[in-house]
Every structure is written in structure tokens, then in C-alpha cells.
Amino acid sequence: MNTKVVLVALTLASIGALVTASSLMPQNAVEEQEFTKLLPILQNLTGISKELLQGIKLFILTRQCEVSLPHKTSLICKAKRILERLTLKKRWKLTDSGFGFMVLDRTPIVHVFKTFLDPFTRFNMEEYLQTVLTSDLTQIVYNVLVKNSSEIRKHYNYKILSKYFAMASKLGGEVALRPSHYEAFVDDKDEWISDKFFTQQRLAGVNPMSLMRVTNSFEAAIGLNWEELEKRLNPTFDWEGAVQTALGTDDSLEEAIDQGRLYALRYEFMDHLPKESDLTDHDNRREMWGTYSPIALFASAQDFITKRNHLVPVAIQMDFKPGSAVYTPEDGDNWMLAKLNLQITDLGYAQIVEHLGKVHLLMEPFCVLLKGAMASEHPIHQMLKYHCRDVTIPNSVGTPALIDPGNYMDQLFAFGSKGTVRLLRDAHRIATWKVTDFRGEIKRRGLDDKELLPYFPYRDDGEQILEVIENMVKEYVDLYYYDNEDVKNDNELENYRKELSAFWSFPWKGRKGKIKGLPASIDTKQELCDFVTRIISQLTIQHAAVNYPLSDYAQYIPNLPTKLYNDTRVKEGEFDVLRLPNRNTSSIEASFTNSLALYRFDTIFDYGNNLKETRAVKLLNRYFGHLMNVVQPEMQEKNQQRKEDGDLTYPYFIPRWLPNGIQT
């Protein structure tokens, strides 16, 4: 090769070593513009003619490079990777969201237009927007059909509303199907708020992330400490007696805690949230409740016949203040109001903290920086780009529709957009790398004991999918990284980790992803496998858990309302349909759940044939086949057994219903 060509390539490599870089192959026109900007620099450095440089440019841009680690590719391909990374890092930048999370620096309309021009993301975006528009249209048609009637007086009207939006969702086509229509599912909506299913929704509903075991130890950092919890509990209520009644034993409260049988829900971020104006109900006879932060206790009781443990409700304190009223399953209508009060809190907390904060916004930097830190031929990029397609669309289009003043959170919840902003800022404090550790989070919450808590579909089905992800990632990494030295020599991987980190040794380059708790280095194949596994599992398992159950449980308003009311026609302490949201609010909630929790563009690990390298194609196809032919039948059989046992099923992790990433 001509020595001047080598000199140019080495010059490009030197420039690239000084800048941050990464993924997804940009359009050639953009690359050419970038190269053109470099021409004067290269001419000064090398002294060769502009014509020769143009020839070198054409040679580099048209070079077909193989999937490889950066230190194992040819000199020309190194130059091409550097040029690609220089281009992409300018187009994919992060900015502070205002809540602490780093998000794509974007104008939503411009971003959508750019995505439309990219063949890799175009069809996903089109289908997503079609699902959202279909949902909006079905709400408009519904309001026309009911002639804007606002009041609902009978439970069956809520069933009709739910059925209408479930049927209308079919207009979205194959990407908007509900697993509950095709898999074993307990669809008796009247029973969902029963004590048994109300309790099981903590383990298989829209928020399986908040329940914690109560402990007596500060040192273990597991579960929720009883001494701290007790400070918030009503001191005049007989908590020990309620626990004994639930367990059917004479064991003391301390003994129940020591046995690991006491569990609790405590939503600290919901304390002191504001009450905003009611935008969707203007009936003078009805007063919307404010935002409460209830505390609920549950117990693991043993069935005297089967000897199998199962979770049962103990009591619900209506707010976090010690003087708040406490109700038990013996308290009739007040118990129903207590359960609905908790449902509202659980839903609002789950969607802002667990869903938007700890999944969507936490993972956005991983996907944005992937495009500018690793070249498209990097093997990790080759895989992760399918799991990242494309979180930036729902984040740029859907997030403002959710949290901006006058939009969904203002319409649906008493704490409104102002409370949402506070929740997001609080969520940022705990949205660290640690939360991506699926097993670690289960253990931290004290929910890993399968004898005391044998029924926990989120945990058990999630672990089954996680094992497949772990095995696939290990084999995939083995294809390209022969030993730990390959990991240490992977400068693109190190660039990616550094740009994601909250701490960087080059402060003049700025902090990019600001992800707290990332490993200080990735030096071994095992560390790399853990890193990649946790990214994929958070984008797949965790997002599915906090998103897709909404399409069932939150669309039936008497199970998961977003507001409760005092109504002059209903006596204090009495439950009546008039305490539930009106037709307008309910249709907004139903439309919102269709927009949010139906769309699935692809299926986990279905992208094997799109990979560039034959070994990777075979590997992904083998794991996809394993998911479909082995894991899926096992999960379907398990769910069928749950239904036969009279338990809620959990179809959301069945492989055919599990997407590759955050798509809505």
C-alpha cells in the first residue's frame, strides 16, 4: 500500500483516539461532509494533494469491513470506524432533562423526521405512531357514541368501556395484540379487586417492584426495617393482632418478622405530593380526593391443608402520617376504599418512578451513546442496536404527552404534572446501575425465599428469561473475545463505559450519561457479559413488567382507578360507583393504556438473520428457537396451571409477547 495512504490512515487513527466515538452507520453523504472538513487538516499533516485525499476518501468510505473488535480490524477499517464515530457523536448528544436524567438533545418533530429517514428505525416509528393515533381515534369515537355522557352509575358500564377499548385496539393490527386474549388468563374483572387477586397484583400486576419483606436488622440492607416503618404507623392500631389474624397463629409480631412472614408497601416518594385541580370532572357534587401515601402490610400464611405458603393482606393505613385511619379485611366498604386508595398510589408511583424513571430515562443514555461510542461493526453494537430500537421515539414523543402541563398526568392523577416532576427528581436518586441487577433487586427486597413466597410470577418467569439472556450473551462474547486481554484492549468498549459513567477522568469532555454506580472498569469477559446482560434485561424483562400489564388491569377502572371522590350522594365510609372516575376520565385512562401498553414491534432475539456474521446468525437463531420451542411451552403450561390453581397468570414474559426493547 502507498506509504502516504498509510500515513493518512494513521493520522485519522490519531485524531480518533482523541475524541469520543460510536455506533450505527450514518448516511454516506454525512460521512463525506465530515471527511471534507478533515481535508485541510490532513493536507497540512501529510502534505499530499487534495486529489489524492479524495481518492483515499472514496477508498475508505466504500471499504466493506467485517464485524470485529477495534484492535483486530485492518488499518483502513480502523480509519473508517473512526470517521463513522466522529460523525455520529455530533448527531447523537445528550442534555439534562431537568429531572437529573440525561436524554437525547432533540426537538421531537425533527427527531421523528430523522428517524423516518433511517431504514433501521422507520417502520418501528411508523407502527408506533399508528398505534398511538389509533388509540386517540378510538377515544374520539367513544365520546361520540356515548354523546359525552359523563356520569357512570353501574359497574357494567365500566365493563362495556373496557370491552370497547379492548376491541378497538385490534385496529392496530398485529403489533397491538393483547396476550391476555391468546394465553391462559383470569379475566373475571369483578374478582380482580377481591382480597386474593388484589394481593396477587403485588406479584403479577402492573407493579411487582414495590413489595418488600419486613426485617428487624439494619445491617443486612435487605427489605424494610420494622423500626423505621413503625415510626409511620398508627400507634393506636393493634398491628400485632392484625398480623396474628392474617396468619391464623398466636405468634408475636416480632416472631412473624423473624420468620420472614411480614411484607410491606411503603411509597416514600408519594409523601406530601400536591393536589392539583381536577381537569376532567366538574360536577359540583363530587370532590376529588387528594394524593395519599398509604402503607400496606401483608403476611405469608400457610395453608393448613396444602401446607403451602401464600400472601394475604393484613391491613392498609390510608396515609403515611401516624394518625391516619387503618382498615383490615373485616372493615367492609372502608376496606374497599383502602384497597382502591392503594391501587391509585401504586399505579402512579409505578408509572413515573419504576417505568418512566428507572427504565425509560435510565436506559436512554445507553442507547443514545451506543450510536457514538462503538462503531457499527463492533460485535456488541451489532447486537445491542436491536434492543435499543428505538427508545428515543417514545421518550421524545410520549414523555411530553405524559408529563407536560395539561396532559395525561394532569388529567388522570390528583398530583398532576407538578407532582410528576417531583417524582422524577426523586426517581433519579435511585435510578442507578444497581437497579439493572434483576436477581440482586429481588434479594435486596427480601423476596428471594421461594418457600415463604412460592407464588411470584414476575420473579420466577423473569429469572427463566434472564438465564437465556445470560447464556446467549456468554456464547456471543466468546465468538469475538478470546481472552480477558481482548476485553482490556477494546478501546471502543471503554469509550462507551466512560461516556455512560457519572465520573470521568477527562472533565473537559463533559459528563455524558451520568449513570451512577457503573463499574470503574470492564477488564474480564465475565464483567463484560454481566454488563451486556444487564442492559438487555432492563430493556426487555423490566420494561415488559412495568408496561404491558397496564393493557389489562388498568383498563378496567374499578380495579385500577386514577382518582377517587367524595360524592354528596354517598355516605362517608360507604363505597359506591359514584366514588370512581367519571366516563371522561375513564376513557382517557383506557386510551392512555392502549397507547402505552399494546405496541410490540418485534420479539426477543428474532434478529439473528439480520446480523452480518454467520456465526452470530446461527447463535441468535438457535436461542430464538430455544425461546419459542422450549421456554414458551414451559411458560404457557405454567400459566395454565396458575389459572387452574385459581391464581392470576402472567403472560407478559412468554417469549412471543416479549419485545427486544423499549418500543412504547
Least confident span in 64-68, 468-472, 500-504 = 500-504
Whether 218 shows a pLDDT value over 70: the answer reads no
Residue 605 has pLDDT above 60, yes or no: yes
Measured in whole angstroms, the distance separating CA 208 from the mean position of its chain's CA atoms is 12
Q: How many Å apart are CA 344 and CA 561, to the nearest integer?
A: 6
Higher pLDDT residue, 402 or 111?
402
Dihedral over alpha carbons 560, 563, 567, 572 (to 10 degrees): 70
Asked whether the predicted pLDDT for residue 1 surpasses 80, the reply is: no
Does residue 481 have a pLDDT over 70?
yes
pLDDT at 307: 85
Q: How far is CA 85 from the centre of its chain?
A: 28
For residue range 529-568, list pLDDT tens digits in order: 999 999 999 999 999 999 999 999 999 999 999 999 999 9
Query: Is it the case that residue 511 has pLDDT exceeding 50?
Result: yes
The grid coordinates listed for 209 are: 417492584
Q: Tell me the three cell numbers of residue 156.
A: 357494567
The residues near 423 (Cβ < 8 Å, ≥ 6 apart) are 269, 270, 273, 348, 349, 352, 353, 357, 415
How high is the pLDDT of residue 115?
Answer: 76
* Structure confidence at residue 20 (pLDDT): 32
Return the pLDDT at 571. Answer: 95
Q: What is the pLDDT of residue 246?
A: 96
* Percent of the chain residues topping a pLDDT of 70: 88
Grid coordinates of 224: 424494610
Question: Residue 11 above 90 pLDDT?
Answer: no
Residue 636 pLDDT greater than 50, yes or no? yes
Which of 497-501, 503-507, 591-595 is the least confident region? 503-507
Residue that has been written with the C-alpha cell 466493506 in this structure: 64
Is pLDDT at 43 greater than 80 in this prediction?
Answer: no
Query: 314, 298 in Cβ contact below 8 A?
Result: yes
CB-based burial, 465-476: b 16+ in 10 Å, e otherwise? bbebbbebbbbb
Q: What is the pLDDT of residues 335-347, one digit of tens each?
A: 999 999 999 999 9
Q: How far is CA 169 from the centre of its chain?
A: 22
Express each pLDDT in 378-436 by its tens digit: 999 999 999 999 898 889 888 998 999 999 999 999 999 999 999 999 999 999 999 99
Alpha helices per DSSP H over 554-613: 583-597
β-pairing verdict for 212-215 and 224-225: parallel
Taking the C-alpha atoms of residue 437 and residue 215, their distance in angstroms, rounded to an integer, is 22
d(C-alpha 229, C-alpha 165), whole Å:
40
How many angstroms separate the CA atoms of 431 and 359, rounded?
8
pLDDT surpasses 50 at 12: no
- Which 3 state secondary structure label does DSSP give 149? coil
Q: Residue 99 burial by CB count (10 A; 0-12/13-18/19+): exposed, middle or buried?
A: buried
Query: What pLDDT is stored for residue 170 in this prediction?
Result: 82
Cell of 374: 462503538
- CA 357 to CA 267: how far, in whole Å? 15
Burial 334-371 (b: 16+ CB within 10 A, else e): bbbbbbbbbbbbbbbbbbbbbbbbbbbbbbbbbbbbbb
Please report, for residues 372, 630, 663, the alpha-carbon distance to residue 604 in angstroms, rounded to integers and kept in the order given. 24, 14, 12
Question: In the chain, pLDDT over 90 holds for what percent of residues?
Answer: 72
Cell numbers found for residue 114: 430523522
CA distance 599 to 175: 5
pLDDT at 39: 57
Q: What is the pLDDT of residue 172?
A: 83
pLDDT tens-digit map of 238-259: 999 999 999 999 999 999 999 9
Q: What is the pLDDT at residue 189?
A: 95
Cα–Cα distance between 351 and 547 in angstroms, integer?
A: 8
Rounded CA separation 563/454 (Å):
33
Interhelix angle 457-480/632-644, rounded to 10 degrees, is 170
Confidence of residue 89 (pLDDT cuts 50, 70, 90): confident
Question: How many of the other CB atoms lie within 10 Å of CB of 44?
Answer: 8
Q: Among 36-40, 108-112, 333-337, 364-368, which stretch is predicted with the lowest mean pLDDT?
A: 36-40
User: pLDDT averaged over the chain?
Assistant: 89
CA distance 311 to 304: 14
pLDDT at 18: 35
Whether the pLDDT of residue 234 is over 90: the answer is yes
**Phi and psi at residue 601, in whole multiples of 5°?**
-85, -30
Task: Encode pLDDT of 640-664 as tens digits.
Answer: 999 999 999 999 999 999 999 999 8
299-308, 454-463, 507-516: which has the minimum mean pLDDT?
507-516
